[in-house]
Amino acid sequence: MIASDELLERVRSRGFTVVPDALARDSVPRLRERLEQLAEEDLRLWTERPYPGLEGAPYPDGWMVHNPFTRSPEFAALLENEAMHAYLSPLLGATCTLYAYTTSSMPPGGTNLSARVHVDSPRWIPDYPTNVGVIFPLDDFTDDNGATYFLPRSHLSPDAPTEAEFFAGAERVYPRAGDMVVFNARTYHFGGTNRTGRARHAITLNVCRSYMKQRFDYPRLTPKEVVDALGPVGRRFLGFDTRVPASLAEYFVPPERRLYKPNQG
Ligand SMILES: O=C(O)CCC(=O)C(=O)O
């Protein structure tokens, strides 16, 4: 699959774009169903087995499931989504890796942590994106259910807009379920409020340059059966080609057995 030059240019010049038909439409209902199950499971586990020191605290990332691909093959398959990689490679290089993989849902009558003017990458280097965000909507985004706001061209400035400046210039995106939003993660955005009675679900990935640290140590965190089901693109994306040795025995190995493989940037 090849990215559209016009849409890539929109990411570069305006900071974001909607790419149609990134997912097979018939895969969406199952992803949506699994997302709801995982979100409920997270809340239950948080109450039943709180992390030490956090007993009694509310779940910190409500309506966001972290690392769903470790618990559900439907989410693992997206690590190799061809449309996504067709856009990531020209923007970040064909060696880019996953920084974070979560879900983002707007509950009925509410919103989530993304309802603030924010960027998903604090670094600003002129003409050099370090991180790209990808949103896979699992519901059509509308004004009523919390379509995301983006401030066009805000990735071109080192300065943060005020909230007034943001809303004076922001545009909302209206992808359909199964489309994909691709954005320079330094573009200011804001998650909307869902005023309907049905949850608005989405999957959100943040992708970084190959030599940057990932949010989690995915090669250690990902279950073996998930890794075994992936091909070279999925493994590289998880960080398997850019690991670092933990001993001289792991360092002094032939090139084909190196943990940080040659030509990874
Ligand atoms: O779900 C959304 O609409 C926004 C998500 C978001 O802001 C983020 O992932 O940083």
C-beta of 148 in contact with ligand 1 (< 6 A): yes
pLDDT at 52: 82
CATH 2.60.120.620 fits 5-257, yes or no: yes
Domain ranges (residues) in the chain: 5-257
C-beta of 201 in contact with ligand 1 (< 6 A): no
Asked if 11 and 187 touch (Cβ cutoff 8 Å), the reply is no
10-residue block means of pLDDT along the chain (265 residues)? Answer: 96 98 97 96 86 81 90 97 98 98 94 93 96 98 97 98 98 98 98 96 98 97 98 98 96 94 90
Atom of ligand 1 nearest to the CA of 200: 1
How far apart are the C-alpha atoms of 249 and 197, rounded to whole Å? Answer: 58
pLDDT at 130: 98
What's the gap in Å between 149 CA and the centre of ligand 1? Answer: 9
